[in-house]
Amino acid sequence: MCLALPARIVELLTGDQCRVELGGVRKEISLALVDDAAVGDYVIVHVGYALTRLDPEEAAQTLALFAEAGIDPAGVLAGDGLPAPEAAR
């Protein structure tokens, strides 16, 4: 219910403000809710405020988990194993 996106801090500004960049789009947002943020950090941005820092190591680990889950250990399912939409219903 809360549209929020990871964005990279590219510039710290006066007060609690900073500029972030996401896919080539820049926006000025507030760091009032996050301590010790630095240029280069990724933060989750919602309604013009950073909610928290994003941990790059955890992100990498999560992606690794996805990849690992996809490996079929015992070749249990025949072929692709992916349920075809029609067959599954």
Partner 1 sequence: MPSARLAHARPLDLRNGRIELAFGAGGRAMAQLITELFARAFANDWLARGDDGAVLPAPGPGERLVMATDAHVVSPLFFRGGDIGSLSVHGTVNDLAVMGARPLYLAASFILEEGFPLADLARIVDSMAAAARAAGVAVVTGDTKVVEQGKGDGVFITTTGIGALPAGRDPGGAQARPGDVVLLSGRIGDHGMAIMAQRESLAFDAEIVSDSAPLNGLVEALYAAVPAAAIRVLRDPTRGGLATTLNEIATQSGVGMTLEEAAIPVAPQVHAACELLGLDPLYVANEGKLVVLCAPAHADAVLAALRAHPLGTEAARIGAATADAQHFVQVRTALGGRRMVDWLAGEQLPRIC
Partner 2 sequence: MKYVDEFRDGTLAAGLARAIAREVDRGRDYAFMEFCGGHTHAISRYGVADLLPANVRMIHGPGCPVCVLPIGRVDMAIGLALARPEVILCTYGDCLRVPASEGLSLLKAKARGADVRMVYSAADALALAVREPAREVVFFAIGFETTTPPTALVLRQAAAQGLANFSVICNHVLTPPAIAAILGAPEVRRLGSVRIDGFIGPAHVSTLIGSRPYEAFAAQYRKPVVIAGFEPLDVMQAILMLVRQVNDGRAEVENEFTRAVSRDGNAKAQAVVAEVLELRPSFEWRGLGALPDSALRIRSAFAAWDAEAKFGLEDRPVADNRACECGAILRGVKQPVDCKLFATACTPENPMGSCMVSSEGACAAHYNYGRFRDSEALPAQD
Per CB under 8 A, residues contacting partner 1 are: 1-3, 5, 22-28, 45-47, 85
| Contact by Cβ (8 Å): 48, 30 | yes
Spatial distance between the Cα atoms of 8 and 34, rounded to a whole number of angstroms: 14
The set of long-range contacts for 76-83, using a CB threshold of 8 Å and a minimum separation of 24, is none
Binds partner 2 by CB under 8 A, chosen from 14, 38, 66, 78: 66
Residues that bind partner 2 (CB under 8 A): 1-6, 8, 22-23, 30, 32-35, 42, 44, 46-49, 51-56, 58-59, 61-63, 65-67, 69-72, 76-77, 80-83, 85, 88-89
